[in-house]
Amino acid sequence: MLTVTSVNVNGLRAAAKKGYVPWLAATAADVLCLQEVRAEAAQLPAEVREPAGWHTVHVPAAAKGRAGVSLCTRREPERVRVGFGSAEFDGSGRYVEADLPGVTVASLYLPSGEVGTQRQDEKERFLAEFLPYLVDLRKRAEADGREVLVCGDWNIAHQEADLRNWKANQKKSGFLPEERAWLTDVLDENRGGYVDVVRALHPDVEGPYSWWSYRGRAFDNDAGWPVETDYSTG
C-alpha cells in the first residue's frame, strides 16, 4: 500500500518555521505533494530542500513568491515531468508528476481565479488545456498497466456536499457552473475517467473539508471547502 499526503503549505519557508521538518521526519507517508511552496530551491534551508530519506523535486513559478509545487518520494522516481506541455503554464509552478512502480503521482496547484478578473480568464485557459492532458495521461497509464493519482489544490468544489455554504458561493470562483461541469468531465468514465478519492471514501455526507477561511470562525464552525483533494484512475 502506498500512502500519499497532499498539503498546501502556504509558503514552505513559513511552514519550516512552524514544524515542517520534524513533521516530515515523523510522517509515515511514502509520497508528499506540496502546493504554494512560494520559493526557489536555493531559498530553502538544506533540511527542507533535500530532507534526509527523501527524493525531492521543487518546481517554482517564474513569478517570484507565487505558486510553486513540490514532490517528495521515499523511492527514487523512475521519471519526473514538470508541467503538462503548456506554453503558458509550464513555467508557472503548478504541476509536477513522478512515475513510481505501478503508479504516477502528481502535485497540482490549479489557479484559484476571481470572477470578472483576468485571474478567472487565466483559470479558464488552464482548465481548457489541462483536461486533454489528464485524458491522455490516463490513456497512457492504462496502456502501461499503471494507475494515476493527481493530488493537490484543485480550487473547485464539485458538488453541493463539497462545501458548507454552497448557496452563497454559486457565483464565486471555485463553484461556478462551468467549473463544476469541467470537473464532471474529469470524473466522467467516458472522458477523464478519474475518481474523486475523498468522495468515494465519504459518500452521501457533507464534507469532509480541507480548507477554511480565516474569517468568521470558519474552522470552528467547519464552514469549509474541499480545496485539498485527490483524483485517481484506480
Partners of residue 8 on adjacent β-strands: 35
Question: Residue 180: is it exposed, middle or buried by C-beta count within 10 angstroms (0-12/13-18/19+)?
Answer: middle
Cα distance between residue 159 and residue 130, in whole Å: 20
Catalytic one among 30, 90, 144, 153?
A: 153
- Nearest CA to 182 out of 132, 107, 232, 147 is that of 132
- Please provide the size of the chain in residues: 234
Cα distance between residue 67 and residue 96, in whole Å: 12
Cβ atoms of 109 and 63 within 8 Å: the answer is no
C-alpha cell at 103: 503508479
- Quick one: which H or E segment has residue 126? helix 118-144
Cβ atoms of 44 and 58 within 8 Å: the answer is yes
- Non-local (6+) Cβ contacts of 204 within 8 A are 161
Is 230 a residue of the active site?
no
Annotated catalytic sites, by residue?
153
